[in-house]
Structure 1
């Protein structure tokens, strides 16, 4: 569910797109504004006029594997960090939860960084994931912890929210590992523009944001100067973290993962200095970037990305009228673009899928109209996780009209929380599934086959940038990432996706739920094509979820 670094395209997206980028059309427009020590500094100019802040990133290629770079960045070893990190060299591991996120405490001396006289200390959390393609993502956010209250003689400051993305690069030499390292952070707009537009703001180069942007260059030089580090084990920090992991975490909100996110996202009650010459980050505001809406007419997909329904569905049978107004779920269908707490259907042009020649050149194309039609969405909650929803008497599938549908694909995304939530998507075919088609092999195949082909592509269209980074834009084989259970009966196939079966997926969903009322989320379902005869892929179904309210979920008794 994670993403690689965004591809830079200033001239719009062509219909064809290579596989190294994400699987969603990117709405950022990254422009290189500086080069520091061989590392490029980019600004997101497409969203820089939001008035709330600006996203910038440092990008560099490092001659080491992603595993090695990940270990260097996460390790709190003071001796090693002193060689590359000008800001967070003095780190102490305070707490860890589930081996995927921790809290660290640090200090820095203003003599080496800022023009301020008081010593500074800080607390921030680090949460990390490893994607199915081997890409690491690290989220760093200011935090509060009971073990580290304000310290006498130090001024408590906050480190800018930032992310690391570490992706392996293919190399012609099997003995030469290389990776692309990207650090993205949010900076106060006023201070950044002063530094970008002229050279009369030397104070910026003594700030926390500048020190963060310099970390990629620091890691690059450190690894280049210490070739022996490439032979070190990359599991040492993992082992230390797992030894410290425990259930009795001492965060301000000790109710484990879900509340943990609320705690670190909330602003501190301490009286922070709002402005260090208007350059430091404005901690009291959250950045929400308005993404560009997808207009199907302005970006029509190529013909070979549209599914041929006659191949997948039985053309000898008459098509049934699938009028969504005839079907009802517990979540409302959107009335217009401004509607909230609702769902809508969309075409697949915002998603990238495998084209006819993918096995030869890894080319992806824009998706076309989905093969199946989204007719209803249920937003449910219960004390225990909900399974086999299609068998429930209140389910759409069990209704008189639902039983007449030729085929229904029921996707039950089980979201672990208190209470447990289920997002149930009902996709219908207007004709029966054709024998020996790709869809038929999936619907009536083995669970092993389904696990190897069931693919989800996520996209946060609107919302806090840190959540976008966590969710990413890369397709995920759900059957390989989490536990999926399949129920094939009558005219339907239900897929129960247990998000809680993976601690990584659970962490991502916990973060999403903390911001869900301000998010617009697009999802696409695809059956992955692995053989020449199965190409091109097609979009099986899509959905847009607009600012969903957890409180609106309908209680469903087992």
Structure 2
């Protein structure tokens, strides 16, 4: 794979800068060029090897010098300070690069095993980008990809057998309208604020719809008929920010005071190109309710944008559950339901906007901001052509490639060097950047709003005469270097996370137990009637790879588990709690003292924050490890093999629909996005999963904690099987956590 990316550097003061470079990834070699290479024999300015120690972290969406980039980081798992941060102009492009880097790391992992190389010997080798000294050829390795986890591109479908949670109740403006399956609009106590979902099809790519929905600039008034003003209050990370919206006065019923919403916005991209955008109300110290407005409560809402017809069209689902805080709703509940239904009809407005702007062209790609920039003016045709041309050049594809480029000649594989990525900021080409066609070609109102935290970054359509008040283009005044530096420092000083969720206000201090026995702090309740307890769910709920999976790609219901769940811990601490199985007061050591032959498999989820919470699951197996070769290889193997095989299947069987949508029901390899540490003892293997190592996982966990005491969480663990000898798969174990309560977490003892 090859194309233009942005090399992101950080100064000692934390200020970020980006430099445009052309990258080529071939086999497990990454090459960096200042400009588009015209020959396969051209020397890159930097090169590096992608090995099995390399991990890829998704940093989300950021604005760097008025360029909105989708950032991802390559880092060495044995030395996190050795890393390389790159940015792409679209989320689709960033996703392709991240997938290619993961493939390269897995391929190198298999190459080392085939050549009988020991991973531990290269555990501390730097992730380097070094200059290439000579010119040569890299031979094809002819690797067998059946041992790599990603060789079979599984369709993104649920790996859990569960009933559909929505039922249709009407159709309006070409949209199907759904309510939750257990909902009844006529029942007075139906959660008071029912969840409504509108589903429609839009003639545009999923990324184009995603960019449009994420935009809060002036172009939003072209389809969003509900909101009169939108502001980004605080940017938390690449996937999360705080948004304030004010509802149009003339859109609300007569006699109803103006409403506003303050909510946290979170987004992520699935492997199949589906975008998930979720909202829920929060309290923020910097944003109190506006005078004359009533702050409504968004219990949950968002969009699910899925590609259709090979990505040419998109299915858009818009879900909302709002407490409008309208006094008449106690007498006329249909009033609030009517408002929520009308708000979900924005999907129809999206559909008609794309249809009006682009006519009969079914495939619309607004990943670079054409929708916001062009509008409906005739002059936009020239700009579209210009942007399309640059997009083609940036991705390294032209209609007439140079004839002298030999397709069959690969790039040279760089030799080992001692220059890590950390030293790239001192490179000789630090101040060289590829010139753009126009310095501010990609600058629009939305990208400027994206990182701003002041009230000037808003848009105001005129509700009186129905005409939009155009925001005057601000002149790009050149400030002195000192002024820019002072402004950056002021922005950094206020980037504290001072928001808190509505539910976090009422959290109490947890219980303490100085004499706890690790493995028994959470009680077991097979009847599921006791809050804050655990039990063992039905294994047939989960789908795993069958015996003939490599031929028919079909998954079957699991018939049982290899291990038995014997204990669960629900702990809290001021630090990460590792190696619980090796502590003298643990359940594992109790069995070891009795000279038993039992083997324990411990999974320890570490949830960081002001207080670190641990959910530890203790599985026990009485039969010898040798009876299952794949399990024995996993327990006694190296970390690289473990990372490429350990999978989790999550499922929220009871709880808020927004949490179910966030968590999903698809099996995932945990090590592809999270940091995992392994602790091997005499009679146990503990897997410590650090949730805080991923901003995406942190955002999901934060939402789950908000609704934690209302959820029933089911988990299944397995080792992925990739060959016919390893198939069929088997579940290591399952667990069901019932209505966990943060206040009942037990203090961990050192």
CA contact (8 A) 1:412 1:424 kept: yes
Instruction: Give the CA deviation at 1:156.
Output: 4.2
The structure-2 alpha-carbon separation of the partners of 1:336 and 1:21, relative to structure 1 and needing over 3 Å to count, comes to: same
Matched, 1:531 2:723: yes
Matched, 1:43 2:179: yes
Matched, 1:548 2:740: yes
Counterparts of 1:507-518 in structure 2, within 5 Å, are 507-518=699-710
Alpha-carbon distance in 2 for matches of 1:389, 1:161: 36
Q: CA-to-partner distance for each residue in 1:432-467, whole Å, 9 max, x for gaps?
A: 112672222322233222222211111222223332
Instruction: Give the CA deviation at 1:502.
Output: 0.8
Alpha-carbon distance in 2 for matches of 1:536, 1:436: 12
Instruction: Give the CA deviation at 1:553.
Output: 2.9
Secondary structure of 1:330's counterpart equals coil
The structure-2 alpha-carbon separation of the partners of 1:447 and 1:504, relative to structure 1 and needing over 3 Å to count, comes to: same
The structure-2 alpha-carbon separation of the partners of 1:364 and 1:41, relative to structure 1 and needing over 3 Å to count, comes to: farther
Counterparts of 1:109-258 in structure 2, within 5 Å, are 109-116=248-255, 118-159=257-298, 161-169=300-308, 171=310, 176-186=311-321, 207-227=338-358, 230-233=365-368, 241=450, 248=494, 255=498
Alpha-carbon distance in 2 for matches of 1:117, 1:327: 55
Alpha-carbon distance in 2 for matches of 1:373, 1:554: 23
Matched, 1:262 2:453: no
Secondary structure of 1:404's counterpart equals coil
Secondary structure of 1:122's counterpart equals strand
State the partner residue of 1:479. 671
Paired residue for 1:24, among 156, 160, 179? 160
The structure-2 alpha-carbon separation of the partners of 1:161 and 1:116, relative to structure 1 and needing over 3 Å to count, comes to: farther
State the partner residue of 1:322. none
Q: CA-to-partner distance for each residue in 1:9-52, whole Å, 9 max, x for gaps?
A: xxxxxxxxx95532223344433333334332222234446722
- TM-score, normalised via structure 1 length: 0.73
The structure-2 alpha-carbon separation of the partners of 1:27 and 1:185, relative to structure 1 and needing over 3 Å to count, comes to: farther
The structure-2 alpha-carbon separation of the partners of 1:238 and 1:447, relative to structure 1 and needing over 3 Å to count, comes to: farther
State the partner residue of 1:74. 214
Identify the range of structure 1 (351-360 vs 439-448) with the bigger mean alpha-carbon deviation.
351-360
- Unpaired segments of 5 or more residues in structure 1? 1-17, 195-200, 267-325
Instruction: Give the CA deviation at 1:346.
Output: 2.3
Q: CA RMSD in A?
A: 3.5
State the partner residue of 1:497. 689
The structure-2 alpha-carbon separation of the partners of 1:398 and 1:243, relative to structure 1 and needing over 3 Å to count, comes to: farther
Matched, 1:380 2:516: no
Instruction: Give the CA deviation at 1:104.
Output: 2.1
Secondary structure of 1:466's counterpart equals helix
Alpha-carbon distance in 2 for matches of 1:517, 1:202: 29
CA contact (8 A) 1:261 1:511 kept: no
Counterparts of 1:6-21 in structure 2, within 5 Å, are 20-21=156-157
Alpha-carbon distance in 2 for matches of 1:516, 1:371: 28
- TM-score, normalised via structure 2 length: 0.56
Secondary structure of 1:333's counterpart equals coil
Q: CA-to-partner distance for each residue in 1:282-330, whole Å, 9 max, x for gaps?
A: xxxxxxxxxxxxxxxxxxxxxxxxxxxxxxxxxxxxxxxxxxxx99522
Alpha-carbon distance in 2 for matches of 1:414, 1:340: 21
Q: Which has the larger radius of gyration?
A: 2
Secondary structure of 2:179's counterpart equals strand
Secondary structure of 1:399's counterpart equals helix
CA contact (8 A) 1:105 1:123 kept: yes
State the partner residue of 1:399. 590
Alpha-carbon distance in 2 for matches of 1:518, 1:448: 37
Paired residue for 1:408, among 589, 600, 608? 600
CA contact (8 A) 1:334 1:343 kept: yes
The structure-2 alpha-carbon separation of the partners of 1:229 and 1:242, relative to structure 1 and needing over 3 Å to count, comes to: farther
- Unpaired segments of 5 or more residues in structure 2? 1-153, 370-441, 454-490, 508-516
State the partner residue of 1:390. 581
Alpha-carbon distance in 1 for matches of 2:293, 2:747: 49
The structure-2 alpha-carbon separation of the partners of 1:476 and 1:445, relative to structure 1 and needing over 3 Å to count, comes to: same
Alpha-carbon distance in 1 for matches of 2:314, 2:252: 29
Q: CA-to-partner distance for each residue in 1:223-275, whole Å, 9 max, x for gaps?
A: 3333496144279868964576967468xxx645xx34636999xxxxxxxxx
Identify the range of structure 1 (233-242 vs 509-518) with the bigger mean alpha-carbon deviation.
233-242
User: How many residues in Structure 1 have an aligned counterpart in Structure 2?
Assistant: 463
Instruction: Give the CA deviation at 1:204.
Output: 7.6
Alpha-carbon distance in 1 for matches of 2:519, 2:260: 54
Matched, 1:349 2:540: yes
The structure-2 alpha-carbon separation of the partners of 1:130 and 1:355, relative to structure 1 and needing over 3 Å to count, comes to: same
Alpha-carbon distance in 1 for matches of 2:267, 2:211: 11
Alpha-carbon distance in 2 for matches of 1:341, 1:516: 10
CA contact (8 A) 2:543 2:558 kept: yes
State the partner residue of 2:636. 444
Alpha-carbon distance in 2 for matches of 1:447, 1:112: 58
Alpha-carbon distance in 2 for matches of 1:239, 1:368: 54
Alpha-carbon distance in 1 for matches of 2:501, 2:518: 38
Paired residue for 1:96, among 229, 235, 246? 235
Paired residue for 1:61, among 201, 221, 232? 201
Matched, 1:334 2:525: yes
Matched, 1:34 2:170: yes
Alpha-carbon distance in 2 for matches of 1:111, 1:265: 36
Alpha-carbon distance in 1 for matches of 2:716, 2:588: 21
State the partner residue of 2:12. none
Alpha-carbon distance in 2 for matches of 1:338, 1:389: 28
The structure-2 alpha-carbon separation of the partners of 1:46 and 1:447, relative to structure 1 and needing over 3 Å to count, comes to: same
The structure-2 alpha-carbon separation of the partners of 1:503 and 1:68, relative to structure 1 and needing over 3 Å to count, comes to: same
State the partner residue of 1:87. 226
CA contact (8 A) 1:391 1:397 kept: yes
By relative contact order (CA 8 Å, sep 6+), the higher-ranking structure is: 1
The structure-2 alpha-carbon separation of the partners of 1:187 and 1:557, relative to structure 1 and needing over 3 Å to count, comes to: closer
CA contact (8 A) 1:327 1:375 kept: no
Alpha-carbon distance in 2 for matches of 1:59, 1:331: 41
Secondary structure of 1:468's counterpart equals helix
Instruction: Give the CA deviation at 1:121.
Output: 3.5
CA contact (8 A) 1:110 1:116 kept: no
CA contact (8 A) 1:329 1:376 kept: yes
Alpha-carbon distance in 1 for matches of 2:306, 2:505: 27
Secondary structure of 2:617's counterpart equals strand
